[in-house]
Structure 1
């Protein structure tokens, strides 16, 4: 998924038992790109290769890792000498604490930056691996950037709630795949119309509000497209873009403008 556009770049349909790692983009494909990855994708060799090819990653890890600590810093960037040479599992933890580490695996190449933090949702220590430079991105900023991955969860919520992904019931593999693709394409069209409306009228549009009322506007636009008449298509698109600019704006634009997601993705206020 491309965070900046809100659209997906690649979709693979596979059994739930198959490993997510099989669907990682190749390391050479993410040059000058920041990739946010969940723990299911964790692979330290992949992090090393991505760094070699000029890509950037923030990747969550599982709690089973235990590399050697080569350097340690607190949230203010001050060195913590007492942790050097210890194993990660020897780390003594205080809630609300963030520790910024350089770590190594004996059997793996490279030195890696690891941020340890208290995960309130799981009541356990969470770990993030990244190759973002400490001088440019503090541990807090890296954690904030990783939080942008929540947009993936909102993407799937929109698919299930407003694009019919969970409403079909079939055991036929071909039909199931076709319906998944139909849901994804419908979502893309709705998000494209929502974003275009915002850009045209210089307002911040809520994609969820646009998706919620799709039964009212989507058939109208599709009928216009099927007619093939340029005048009708333009008239219909103008009507609904104007409608969204009046009734589908974000409920709290001033508050939302303070969030990192809106600051990165919106080109207007």
Structure 2
């Protein structure tokens, strides 16, 4: 009886991954690095998918774990840890950055239409930053705001319609958020949600001048001149026109504040020449604290009431969920190295893994929708709710190693020799170090050591 070669079933998921990150394109990009010429064992396709799925499904995201995953796929068990470590150099980091930037710009990961109060916007973009704690020995590269620490700050702008970053940059922990958010035509017809890390009057002016919209929290000590009330109140309400905000804020009892204010800022950075703009200030009283939550915006009252503005701002919570996903599911809080290039590479790969996961999730939702085409239209409309994005991401995480195996076979890689692979992975990387039992047997430990 002749031997049979096993081939896994066709998978639309594997096909979608290959279309999103084509192997030929990965190899073409890699040819620009010295690694391709210098390292015979370097295989960019194997390494790329090893890292991306290692983040998506790996409970252990150490360099040793990635090495073992790479050997599984590339079948090169003579590769040493030292050689693998040396691959993480400036050229490779630049290659990963190029892949990520291209994915952010061009990758189709499924877009959810904005409805209701968000329908008028091209997109809702949420800017924020988060701190990633590192080993203290990395402080020379990633300076922290406090002493005896090392911190990397991840600056990110998320699209509400895709749930993915539109910008992704890293700095040390002392870099201010505002310095990493450029202005320009990218804001046109979009709503930008900003926390106090981006509280900058010049930025608000630039967003408005580029036909964008913004909602920003207001600092507690902000003291604007009120030039117009946009809502009138019955009875003996305090008149606000011509008053400064702080002069009247503590005396107000109304549920809402809705006024137009003036603010001043430098017309051009460093020029010393000032400019003045009027924007809308809204506030809602918190019944528990009896204090106002204040927001600045250029959205018109005719379209968005004060409660609408506060509700729009709540969408900022989505970026917190994205940071949580990057840290808990993709291991940003588990960077176990002090090497700057490795840190940067792993952070970038976490972002690529997130996008890889979203590509798979989008294909799963499309697959489920196709399977339900024969069902009633009312049921078909609920297909998205039956496959929520984050639950799909969890399924990808749990089965990531299997996805990589399918992909590996589809790309023409041979399955590794299981016996030899396990032998290689089990060998002591430091054979010159005596085992504890052997030292005890030879009586080399004295009691004075304890």
Superposition TM-score tier, normalisation by shorter sequence? 0.7 to 0.9
Runs of 5+ unmatched residues, structure 2: 1-157, 265-273, 369-382, 413-450
Q: Per the alignment, do residues 184 and 60 of structure 1 end up closer, same or farther by CA in structure 2, a change over 3 Å counting?
A: same
TM-score, normalised with respect to structure 2: 0.47
Q: Per the alignment, do residues 229 and 121 of structure 1 end up closer, same or farther by CA in structure 2, a change over 3 Å counting?
A: farther
Q: Per the alignment, do residues 121 and 46 of structure 1 end up closer, same or farther by CA in structure 2, a change over 3 Å counting?
A: farther
Aligned to 1:260: none
C-alpha deviations, 1:35-70, integer Å up to 9, x for none? 111110011121112112211111122212111011
In the alignment, structure 1 residue 198 sits paired with structure 2 residue 365: yes
Aligned to 1:101: 259
In the alignment, structure 1 residue 51 sits paired with structure 2 residue 208: yes
- The structure 1 residue matched to 2:182, chosen from 16, 25, 35, is 25
Q: CA RMSD in A?
A: 2.6
| Aligned equivalents of 1:154, 1:96: Cα separation in 2 | 33
| Aligned equivalents of 1:217, 1:66: Cα separation in 2 | 54
Aligned to 1:224: 406
Q: Per the alignment, do residues 175 and 56 of structure 1 end up closer, same or farther by CA in structure 2, a change over 3 Å counting?
A: same
| Aligned equivalents of 2:301, 2:355: Cα separation in 1 | 36
1:50-89 aligned within 5 A: 50-74=207-231, 82-89=239-246
In the alignment, structure 1 residue 42 sits paired with structure 2 residue 199: yes
Q: Per the alignment, do residues 127 and 181 of structure 1 end up closer, same or farther by CA in structure 2, a change over 3 Å counting?
A: same
Q: Partner of 1:50: helix, strand, or coil?
A: helix
Q: Per the alignment, do residues 96 and 190 of structure 1 end up closer, same or farther by CA in structure 2, a change over 3 Å counting?
A: farther
The alignment covers a number of residue pairs equal to 228
- Cα contact 2:360–2:396 (8 A) shared by 1: no
The answer to which structure, 1 or 2, has the higher relative contact order (CA under 8 A, 6+ apart) is 2
Larger-Rg structure: 2
Runs of 5+ unmatched residues, structure 1: 231-269
- Cα contact 2:230–2:301 (8 A) shared by 1: no
Q: Partner of 1:58: helix, strand, or coil?
A: strand
Aligned to 1:176: 343
| Aligned equivalents of 1:203, 1:213: Cα separation in 2 | 15
TM-score, normalised with respect to structure 1: 0.76
